[in-house]
Structure 1
């Protein structure tokens, strides 16, 4: 049985389109990187000679052969461009953050359902080696009941991004919407919906115009999950720390796939997304009344699995990828986190 080929179009061929989307749409057997919206510079055809380049979004959406649109434009445009794509009858994969408000996210989810279209969010960090390994540790129950967990996504940079839209105050800007979207999504996948949120969100570099630091605490009946990100971490803390009744797991944060993609490497092959032993996590757990400490081999990461899940979602309706509903939950946590930080109070969730 042959694989259905889905014609896909990308809204931008900047870093996101060139590194995170085009290679996967090109090499995945279920997709064809068919078109791109390029307002000025025409660069996509230098790499993908068969791709069509449209001068306007409207012209691209009018192409009836396009089934999937990837919205990878600045955050504040996600709602508008996703809305237009859905209204044009296209399935949509939208970059994180899904939208800038809960109201926008709810509207898009509702519209996609009404039109029987598939709406997915590009939370690619679910397919990182480190996150997949942490998930396995929890599923196998090696640590017993989890009392505390920390997820860090830290960086060190003394300069602002060259992308002005990321550093200019406005809807959807700041580190909570940027890196926070990733680890909030991971926390919700690992631990479920929390009872309450408390957050401290701030600008800690003198050059920053948008928030570059946050600490978010998710409250669960018998545990706490802390999410942290800062742009002033020259030597970052572990990406993941799990403390349970039967042990501890500590895992460094890695970024193998993004680094490889930026080097122009092709995202296929048995060695893609495989962490070296030096990046494996350390697990300390109780085994037959004896404490054991050992390195735990990491699972293989693979962003291609996101596109495989998306293809299955579109062709079978089975939601095996990051759905619009998942993206909506992340935005609900983000809104609650800002409300908490601004008021200095813990926000209860429904």
Structure 2
């Protein structure tokens, strides 16, 4: 493939506008050729050289399209990704990968059968906090890790307008939405746990889907706790790490999402760079002070997709890894329903 990768987006809501289009537009190796907008024309001004289509079939039947980005509501992920693969397209799926392990296995097998690239947009692997924690752990600045906590706090007491997120659809609720990010992060950092315990709740008035979770992943010598909720008026720390020689605590989210929403894209001055006032605190044998946050790099996801499709490089986010996330989500649901720790096979 000598030309740029002709790419189609299957929606142009926040996901398309903030997390996909900016990186595709700013990478010369991609061309957004078609965007599916069933009734609106939001992409007309932001991606003027792309063609707006009203049906998915117009994307599937276009032989010039190489890559399909399935960034639609969660309950549509499996069928749309399956169709794209059947039509010979490479596929990037928004997280969560699928709603069940069985669906994920079917997509992986189909992609292998067709010789196509299948990946999942777990962009939080390129968050500044995640990259900083990798650096701290690699440098053993905390000694032997004992406690890891990662949180996604929000204050949204009212039920939101997006019905597919707030009603009982497959993949609805923050366990699949934000939980997939936090679980993926833990798996990248620590691998498969020995066991899992989860407390899943519906806390908001008139809520229909899970809007709070507290998940504990048990390893040989430490515990990873993953938490999120919609009733956190006072936001807690994003990360808390304790080891036998030190601690690291960090507040605040990666600035990339806010920057992208404000039109600050990769290549812009200070993109992905956090203000020093937001750096986390490291307290260890060398003293206590602010620890520099590593720059966030969401753009690396699509750079890798290009290198994998064109040059056969190793895929950074493999579908098998995304499948492990769905497995742990299913085990978390089982644990909460049965109110017990669930042992995991490795």
| Shorter-normalised TM range | over 0.9
Aligned to 1:277: 276
Match of 1:296 among 291, 299, 303: 291
Distance 1:160 1:127 in 2: 30
Moved more, 278-287 or 340-349: 278-287
Aligned to 2:32: 33
Distance 1:304 1:4 in 2: 20
Distance 1:93 1:101 in 2: 17
For the pair 1:342 / 2:337, whether they are aligned, the reply is yes
Aligned to 1:128: 127
**SS at 2:248 equivalent:** strand
Q: How does 1:1-350 map to 2 (within 5 A)?
A: 4-287=3-286, 292-350=287-345
Distance 1:42 1:276 in 2: 36
Distance 2:38 2:312 in 1: 33
User: Displacement of 1:24 after TM fit?
Assistant: 1.0
Distance 2:18 2:305 in 1: 18
Q: Would you say the 8 A contact 2:158–2:204 is kept in 1? A: no
TM-score (norm 1): 0.95
Distance 1:107 1:152 in 2: 31
Distance 2:288 2:49 in 1: 53
Query: Structure 2 regions of 5+ residues with no counterpart?
Result: none
User: Displacement of 1:9 after TM fit?
Assistant: 0.5
Q: What is the Cα-based RMSD across aligned positions, in Å?
A: 1.4
User: Displacement of 1:121 after TM fit?
Assistant: 0.4
User: Displacement of 1:282 after TM fit?
Assistant: 0.7
Query: Structure 1 regions of 5+ residues with no counterpart?
Result: none
TM-score (norm 2): 0.96
Q: Would you say the 8 A contact 1:119–1:323 is kept in 2? A: yes
Measured against aligned partners, the alpha-carbon deviations of 1:208-230 in whole angstroms (never above 9, x if no partner) come to: 22111000000101111100001
Q: Would you say the 8 A contact 1:130–1:252 is kept in 2? A: no
Measured against aligned partners, the alpha-carbon deviations of 1:47-97 in whole angstroms (never above 9, x if no partner) come to: 222101222111211111111100000000000000000001111110011
**SS at 2:178 equivalent:** helix
Distance 1:121 1:319 in 2: 14
Measured against aligned partners, the alpha-carbon deviations of 1:296-322 in whole angstroms (never above 9, x if no partner) come to: 110111211111111112122323421
User: Displacement of 1:243 after TM fit?
Assistant: 0.9
Distance 1:310 1:321 in 2: 8
Deviating beyond 4 angstroms after TM superposition, the runs of 4 or more aligned structure 1 residues are none
Q: Would you say the 8 A contact 2:254–2:296 is kept in 1? A: no
Moved more, 278-287 or 171-180: 278-287
Measured against aligned partners, the alpha-carbon deviations of 1:234-268 in whole angstroms (never above 9, x if no partner) come to: 11211111111211111113141111222233333
User: Displacement of 1:3 after TM fit?
Assistant: 7.5
